[in-house]
Amino acid sequence: MPLKFTVRAVDHTIDAALRDKVDNKTKPIGSLGRLEEIAIRIGAIQKTLSPTISNPHILIFAGDHGAAAAGISVYPSDVSWQMVENYLAGGAGANVFSRQHGLAMVVIDAGIAHDFGVRDGLVNAKVAPTGTRNYLVEPAMTRAQCETAFLRGAQFAREAVARGCNVMGLGEKGIGNTGSSSLITHLLTGVPLTECVGRGTGLNDADLARKRRLMQQALDRAKLPADADVMTILTEFGGFEIVMMVGAYLAAAEAGVTILSDGVIATSALLAASRIEPNVLDYVIFTHHSAESGHAAQLRALGADPLVDLGLRLGEGTGAMVVYPLIASSVLLINEMATFDSAGVCRGIR
């Protein structure tokens, strides 16, 4: 399967007609603010004056990181597989919000260091049975593993599209993956490493300083050139779950799916995807501003203005999930709100 994607820029010739339709609803012009913008955005993506939401999905990719053994998180690596069990039992925040909003949630084992056996609700897509290697001392994965993860992520997005999905968010689980995301963000944006490395699962000041030293150690070990390509960066520092998200973003955009962004780890994957194919950003609605350090730098680099700032930093696709009702509301307003003519309501005099 080729690594190349064809992501076409969204054609905005329909925007004027969409704006006219929104402006003729029974409300003052612009009074529904960014909901109107979203409606027009989705209409342009779908090339229709009557956009719809069909079988919305959240894909959660889970993977372990070899560098976690160095203590870059306050939680042990075992929490990764324990949280996957929590997903399967229906008890995680992601389960709660997906149930609340009727979102199909798919949990994908990209490389958790645990044998789950055959389980309902879990897709076994392990690239390596023990997760990535320790990027503090060697590349996180081989180039072949990176390409395998990339293509598998794309395939999962395509399978969701085949089930009728036209709105998709991506989430992740993996102890230590904020370290990977900080290295990827630093290398793709040029933002100082200290601004990209955050507290993750709740590091104190001393542990945060240590984490930053370890991330610098990883950079010093790899000695990547300033113009290193995305796949090289992902091979050195990525997680299997992050690389799968990169492929999934590209495949979703290629299929014309509206993409809902999430937090700092998912956005590091989106940043990587946008460096491979910039048009992917035409399909993204930035849902929220994470409280995790590094997300602000990512959003600046992507020119993004997220819809809300709730101080979230859980990941797992939860930011996309809790903002999803706003996306649904925008589609309802353009399709179901009466017009001045249909409702017999007098327009303003200006």
User: Does residue 4 lie within any of the structural domains?
Assistant: no
Sign of CA dihedral 21, 26, 27, 28: positive
Burial 39-61 (b: 16+ CB within 10 A, else e): bbbbbbbbeeeebebeebbbbbb
- Tens digit of each residue's pLDDT, the chain (350 residues): 567 899 999 999 999 999 999 999 999 999 999 999 999 999 999 999 999 999 999 999 999 999 998 877 877 889 999 999 999 999 999 999 999 999 999 999 999 999 999 999 999 999 999 999 999 999 999 999 999 999 999 999 999 999 999 999 999 999 999 999 999 999 999 999 999 987 776 778 887 888 889 999 999 999 999 999 999 999 999 999 999 999 999 999 999 999 999 999 999 999 999 999 999 999 999 999 999 889 999 999 999 999 999 999 999 999 999 999 999 999 999 999 999 999 898 887 65
Does any domain span residue 37?
Answer: no
pTM: 0.95
Angle formed at CA 28 by CA 26 and CA 34, multiple of 5 degrees: 100
- Does residue 254 carry a catalytic annotation? no
Strand, coil or helix: 169: strand
* Any domain includes 134: yes
Is the residue at 24 inside a domain? no
pLDDT at 202: 73
- The four Cα atoms 276, 278, 279, 284 give a dihedral, to 10 degrees, of 100
SS3 state of residue 70: helix
Task: Please give the residue range of the domain that contains residue 288.
Answer: 57-326
Instruction: Please indicate, yes or no, if residue 215 is contained in any of the structural domains.
Output: yes
Smallest Cα–Cα separation from 153: which of 238, 81, 61, 230? Answer: 61
Asked whether residue 18 is domain-assigned, the answer is no
Helix (H) or strand (E) holding 84: helix 78-89
The catalytic position among 36, 236, 254, 316 is 316
User: What CATH code is carried by the domain that includes residue 115?
Assistant: 3.40.50.10210
Phi, psi of 277 (to 5 degrees): -145, 95
Q: What is the pLDDT of residue 334?
A: 98
Say which residue the tokens 């992740």 belong to. Answer: 172
Beta-bridged to residue 260, according to DSSP, are 169, 285
d(CA 157, CA 264): 20
Number of structural domains found in the chain? 1
